[in-house]
């Protein structure tokens, strides 16, 4: 791709201002500017003044709107692998570190462990760096071969994580399956050389400004496509016989103390709580509060997706979501009524009935399916004050049955 722009400053660069050697699923290079991503190349060493540890970047794990995430190896004799999240330099991202620290005090095993945290000063500003354990992204692991027990264990882990999070006074604020992974303790028992050999070789896309005068220390020499950690996970569990997953949640970029406002409103449509959608669409509130029950709705949405195989509101925009929510929940809060005059009367029994066969395929038996639907119908209610707490959900009959079996 060739551009014709002769602009000189990195902040004014657009995608047409670069030559690309290949196009992959990588972050937007125009965000490598002041206040944006930190430029990283494979082999970079990041030093933590906090712990005096150093980490060598070996591969890419992923990226989001607020960060790039790298597979790194400690440079000491342990050569242990970690995930290193380098946030954008927006001056706000240290909230994530604070929230993870608060949660850590509760010793939650279903939340990524914060092993180290420090600030990184680079050409684009000051970035927060979070060093955590590595997980395999669950969305790449939810194939039809997963057993009902595997799915239920993940659902239980997520419920447990959220109960622990809420017990420490923290609201996650952006729960969806894109922020869930399966723990990989096996990484610490494998020979590090073997791990690197088993991962796909880093795929690089050169970042070459069309005009050499646009070259800037803000830009990395290349961007890296994330490695396929899910394929690696499948490979290492293949020889393990019966494998029980251990799910963990990550990305606390929108986490905040209960009763306080998140930095910004961020909500994956498939897991966005009805009260947030109502505030956004009807009350035109750009930054609605996100409280504990919103996480519980998101939990219900995630459990539904783990078993149904696709998300609650696939392909529905934020405006259409309200009528879909009414259909599945049945009871309509009084403040919603005035805004739903043209909607058909909700028939939640029919909504769930039409999904029963597909849910059954992922469940143990008919009874298990009914118990799952019963639980989801208790959780996915429009009025946040009627939603059970995650702690109560942990004790639900659907989980009790599971706990007896294993
Ligand atoms: N601990 C981890 N282990 C493995 N991969 C990870 C880990 N943390 C993050 N990733 C990968 O990096 C991606 C981006 O991470 P994360 O969601 O924390 O960034 P973000 O910028 O806050 O995202 P968003 O735009 O959703 O807010 C994830 O989708 C995941 O693929």
Q: Is the pLDDT of residue 200 over 50?
A: yes
pLDDT of residue 57: 98
The band of 405, judged by pLDDT with boundaries at 50, 70 and 90, is: very low
Nearest to 231 by CA among 184, 191, 189: 184
d(CA 336, CA 346): 13
Ligand 1: lining residues by beta carbon, under 6 Å: 61-67, 69, 83, 85, 112, 132, 134-135, 137, 178-179, 181, 229, 250-251, 253
pLDDT value of position 406: 40
Average pLDDT, whole number, for the chain? 86
What atom of ligand 1 comes closest to residue 137's alpha carbon?
A: 31
Question: Could you tell me the distance, in angstroms and rounded to a whole number, from the CA of residue 182 to the centre of ligand 1?
Answer: 13
Q: What is the pTM of this model?
A: 0.89
Distance 265 CA to ligand 1 centre (A): 18
Atom of ligand 1 nearest to the CA of 133: 1
Query: Which of the two residues, 320 and 185, has the higher pLDDT score?
Result: 185
Selection from 123, 181, 192, 115 nearest residue 154 by Cα: 181
Cα distances (angstroms) measured from residue 134 to each of 65, 68, 182, 199, 288 = 19, 14, 9, 14, 32
* Per-residue pLDDT, 331: 80
> Is residue 153 part of an annotated ligand binding site?
no
Checking if the pLDDT of 172 tops 60, the result is yes
Residue 231 CB coordination number (10 Å): 14
Q: Which atom of ligand 1 is nearest to the CA of 179?
A: 17
Q: What is the DSSP code string of 24-65?
A: -S---GGG-STTSPPP--TT-EEE-TTT--EEEEEEEEEE-S
Virtual CA dihedral for 54, 179, 362, 316, nearest 10 degrees? Answer: -150
User: CA dihedral in degrees (232, 235, 238, 244; nearest 10)?
Assistant: 0
Cα 257 from Cα 292, distance rounded (Å): 10
Residue 364 pLDDT > 90? yes
Residue bearing the CA closest to ligand 1, atom 11: 62
CA nearest 228: which of 25, 81, 38, 75? 25
Stretch 250-277: mean pLDDT = 85
Protein residue whose Cα sits closest to atom 30 of ligand 1: 62
pLDDT at residue number 10: 35
Distance CA 67, CA 129 (A): 9
Continuous segment of H or E residues that includes residue 86: strand 81-87
Q: Which of 36, 62, 182, 255 to mutate to test the pocket of ligand 1 (most atoms within 8 A of CB)?
A: 62
> Cα torsion for 201, 227, 107, 245, to the nearest 10°?
-100
State pLDDT tens for residues 99-151: 777 766 555 689 999 999 999 999 999 999 999 999 999 999 998 789 999 99
Tell me the C-alpha distance between 264 and 173, whole Å: 10
The proportion of the chain whose per-residue pLDDT surpasses 90, expressed as a percent, equals 61
Give the model's pLDDT for residue 22: 38
CB 363 within 8 A of CB 369: yes
Closest by Cα among 313, 352, 143 to 231: 143
ipTM of the complex: 0.98
Q: What's the pLDDT score for residue 75? A: 97
| Residue of 22 and 315 predicted with greater confidence | 315
Q: Which residues pair with 208 in a beta bridge?
A: 19
- Taking only the tens place, the pLDDT of each residue in 27-65 is 999 999 999 999 999 999 999 998 999 999 999 999 999
């Amino acid at each position: 791709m060739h551009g014709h722009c002769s602009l000189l400053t990195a902040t004014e660069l657009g995608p047409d201002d670069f030559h690309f050697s290949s196009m992959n699923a990588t972050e937007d290079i125009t965000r490598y500017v002041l206040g944006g991503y930190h430029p990283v190349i494979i082999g970079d060493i990041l030093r933590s003044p906090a712990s005096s540890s150093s980490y060598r970047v070996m591969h890419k794990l992923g990226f989001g709107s607020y960060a790039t995430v790298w597979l790194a190896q400690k440079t000491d004799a342990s050569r242990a692998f970690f995930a290193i999240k380098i946030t954008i330099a927006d001056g706000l991202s240290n909230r994530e570190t604070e929230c993870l620290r608060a949660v850590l005090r509760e010793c939650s095993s279903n939340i990524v462990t914060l092993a180290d945290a420090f600030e990184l000063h680079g050409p684009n500003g000051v970035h927060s760096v979070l060093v955590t354990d590595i997980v395999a992204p669950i969305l790449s692991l939810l194939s039809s071969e997963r057993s009902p027990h595997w799915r239920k264990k993940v659902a239980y882990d997520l419920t447990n994580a959220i109960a622990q999070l809420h017990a420490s006074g923290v609201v996650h604020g952006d729960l969806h399956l894109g922020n869930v992974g399966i723990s990989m303790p096996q990484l610490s028992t494998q020979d590090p050389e073997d791990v690197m050999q088993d991962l796909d070789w880093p795929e690089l896309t050169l970042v070459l400004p069309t005009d050499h005068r646009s070259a800037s220390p803000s830009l990395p020499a290349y961007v890296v496509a994330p490695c396929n950690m899910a394929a690696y996970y499948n490979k290492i569990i293949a020889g393990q016989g019966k494998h029980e997953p251990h799910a963990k949640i990550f990305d606390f970029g929108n986490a905040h103390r209960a009763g306080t406002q998140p930095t910004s409103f961020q909500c994956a449509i498939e897991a966005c709580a009805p009260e947030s959608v109502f505030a956004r669409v009807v009350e035109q509130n750009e930054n609605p509060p996100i409280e504990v029950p919103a996480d519980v709705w998101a939990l219900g949405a995630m459990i539904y997706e783990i078993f149904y195989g696709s998300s609650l509101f696939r392909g529905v925009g934020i405006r259409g979501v309200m009528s879909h929510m009414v259909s599945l929940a049945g009871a309509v809060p009084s403040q919603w009524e005035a805004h739903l005059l043209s909607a058909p009367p909700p028939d939640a029994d029919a909504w769930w009935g039409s999904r029963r066969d597909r849910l059954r395929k992922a469940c143990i038996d008919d009874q298990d399916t009914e118990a799952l639907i019963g639980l989801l119908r208790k959780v996915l209610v429009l009025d946040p004050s009627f939603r059970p707490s995650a702690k109560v959900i942990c004790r639900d009959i659907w989980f009790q049955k599971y706990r007896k079996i294993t």
